[in-house]
Structure 1
Amino acid sequence: MTVFTRVGAGRLLLGLVILGIPLALALLGPLFVGAPGPRAASFTSGDGHWLGTDFVGRDVWAQVLLGGRSVVVVALAATALAYLVALPLGLISALTHRTWLEELLMRPLDVLLAVPSLLLILLVAAVLSPGTVGLALLVALVNIPDAARIVRAAAAEAAARPAVEALRMQGETWWRMAVGYVGRSMTRTLAADAGIRFTGVLYLVATAAFLGVGVEPDASDWAVMVDRNRTGLFLQPWAVVVPALLIVALTMGGNLLFDAVLEKRKRA
């Protein structure tokens, strides 16, 4: 038991470190960027540019400090919005005794689920040209169907227990049954899904930014940095490798952290 406890603690610490570095850079980095200086020649180092400069002569380290906030904030907002809609939809579908209501809620989501996420984002972006807020709404929209199905499946298993029927017979409110009992019983399932979903959302946000959806072509954004500097990868690798590693660290750290928390709750 002690060995497993140490392994779990180590995984938790590792997840915090790996996730904490890109989060700190994303959220606090812009506070440490001063006024932009004169641009140097492309792909140069020295003269205060200790990571060199990018393809248009901007300081790479300054771009790293500025480029994470859009990725992280949009991914977190999209994940939160997806669950904000998916939770009530899934709970209502699982707890209702009206088949027509369940069909009305879930069948449109099945249609939306059949469309590839990135394709839907690109199609809508071609018509509306969304900004960062629009990108967050789009990514949340394509994640709602799958999240709602996960919530419904987890809630249906809990709703079939005798305790829920007993609460109904006692005249308890729907809120008490849905949130007080069913919601609490599926926290582990939702926590596991949240880690995977945040990774998927981050992938969509970064890919959309890489393709120029939701951000300006010259924006300070980690995904845009990878796209714009990839042609000079062998001349100036830091402009591509550093933002790419930070995006990977976000996904790895998040999954390690969620796995460690779930393992701890399992042993508790």
Structure 2
Amino acid sequence: MRRREKWLPSGRFALGAALVCVPLVLALFGPLFAGEPGPRATSFTLGGGHWLGTDFVGRDVWWQVLFGGRPVVVVALAATTLAYLVALPVGLISALTHRTWLEEVLMRPLDVLLAVPSLLMILLVASVFSPGAAGLALLVALVNIPDAARIVRAAAADVASRPAVEALRMQGESWWRIAVGHVGRSILRPLAADAGVRLTGVLYLVATAAFLGIGVAPDAADWAVMVDRNRTGLFVQPWAVVVPALLIVTLTMGCNLLFDALLSAGRDVTPERVVVRRGVDVRDRTKEPRP
């Protein structure tokens, strides 16, 4: 039988959840409590009824913090989801197909995209078009698809070469049941590990694009835009730069710690999968149990 360690919240899990909670709550629910922006004050004002002062054009920094997280978080989550929606079927088909030409057709164009730096591709597209938030999410997803598809293919190819998959094929199981029901379930752990790192990279890429003015208006209430527009007054009004920058860093660090803790918990002690169908018993051992 498969034995699993108990799922207990470790220190990394608690720290990661705490770090993620603050920026995520501000991003998702902050606009509901922000209210209407107050009258503008003189640039870079501290105090005067403004908790964190005002920015370079006199807008309330706290109000912008409440409004500025949703674009970054929503675009990053949408881009990561879109990347995996394409990378998963492409990687699974490439790993399970016996047709070399099909694998070449699927993977070689992705290798070409992988050779172009992510930010350079976004800058090239943005120089021709003016993408909004949806366009930025599509661009970021596009530059992440090649790497994600290669990881899916590598993880799935290892599982596809095992006797259990061959036994399922001999039993006449459908491709969908083999690819999703067996191979897909077997690669959840490496995909979860990749998702944590990829989400962090996507967050930084989205923030960098917004910092450069891609996908957002120059005066938008956005954490990355706040850092860019207020950096000249860092020593006069530091909160307009420090607070949004810390929220972005906290979110990325929390995601990494949270995924790492979730992967460490509940790991298999004796991972043995047994496939018994129509009288066939194929034991797929990824690690021999300790004596």
- For the criterion TM > 0.5, the same-fold answer is yes
Aligned residue in 2 for 1:244: 245
Aligned residue in 1 for 2:219: 218
TM-score, normalisation: structure 2: 0.89
The offset of 1:8, in angstroms, is 5.6
Q: Hey, which of these two has a bigger chunk of strand by percent?
A: 2
| 1:150 aligned onto 2:148 | no
Whole-Å separation in 2 of the counterparts to 1:70 and 1:153? 33
Aligned residue in 1 for 2:124: 123
Whole-Å separation in 2 of the counterparts to 1:251 and 1:267? 27
Aligned residue in 2 for 1:34: 35
Aligned residue in 1 for 2:101: 100
Aligned residue in 2 for 1:136: 137
The offset of 1:6, in angstroms, is 10
Whole-Å separation in 1 of the counterparts to 2:248 and 2:237? 19
Which stretch of structure 1 is more off in the superposition, 8-17 or 48-57? 8-17
Residue identity matched to 2:177:
R
CA separation of 1:116 and 1:6: change in aligned 2, threshold 3 A: same
Aligned residue in 2 for 1:64: 65
Residue identity matched to 1:210:
F
Residue identity matched to 2:75:
V
Structure 2: tracts of 5 or more residues without a match? 270-291
Whole-Å separation in 2 of the counterparts to 1:247 and 1:8? 24
Aligned residue in 1 for 2:83: 82
The offset of 1:5, in angstroms, is 8.0
Residue identity matched to 1:46:
G
Aligned residue in 2 for 1:266: 267
Query: Pairwise CA RMSD of aligned residues?
Result: 1.4
Moved over 6 A (4+): 4-7
Residue identity matched to 1:259:
D
Whole-Å separation in 1 of the counterparts to 2:75 and 2:7? 34
Aligned residue in 1 for 2:275: none
Larger Rg: 2
Aligned residue in 1 for 2:170: 169
Residue identity matched to 1:231:
T
Contact 2:78 2:137 in 1 (8 A): yes
C-alpha distance after superposition, 1:200-242 (max 9, x if no partner): 1011100000000000000000000000000000000000000
* SS of aligned partner of 1:149: helix
CA separation of 1:131 and 1:266: change in aligned 2, threshold 3 A: same
Number of equivalences? 265
Residue identity matched to 2:18:
V
Whole-Å separation in 2 of the counterparts to 1:23 and 1:66? 12
Aligned residue in 1 for 2:181: 180
Residue identity matched to 1:100:
W
Contact 1:233 1:240 in 2 (8 A): yes
Identity of aligned residues (%): 79
C-alpha distance after superposition, 1:52-98 (max 9, x if no partner): 00000000000000000000000000000000000000000000000
* SS of aligned partner of 1:175: helix
Contact 2:8 2:265 in 1 (8 A): no
The offset of 1:265, in angstroms, is 2.7
Residue identity matched to 1:79:
T
Aligned residue in 2 for 1:21: 22
Whole-Å separation in 2 of the counterparts to 1:128 and 1:45? 39
Structure 1: tracts of 5 or more residues without a match? none
Residue identity matched to 2:87:
A
Whole-Å separation in 2 of the counterparts to 1:86 and 1:63? 35
* SS of aligned partner of 1:43: coil
The offset of 1:47, in angstroms, is 2.3
Contact 2:79 2:140 in 1 (8 A): yes
Residue identity matched to 1:242:
V
Residue identity matched to 1:195:
G
The offset of 1:36, in angstroms, is 1.5
Whole-Å separation in 1 of the counterparts to 2:178 and 2:165? 7
Contact 1:8 1:263 in 2 (8 A): no
Residue identity matched to 1:184:
R
CA separation of 1:5 and 1:182: change in aligned 2, threshold 3 A: closer
Contact 1:164 1:177 in 2 (8 A): yes
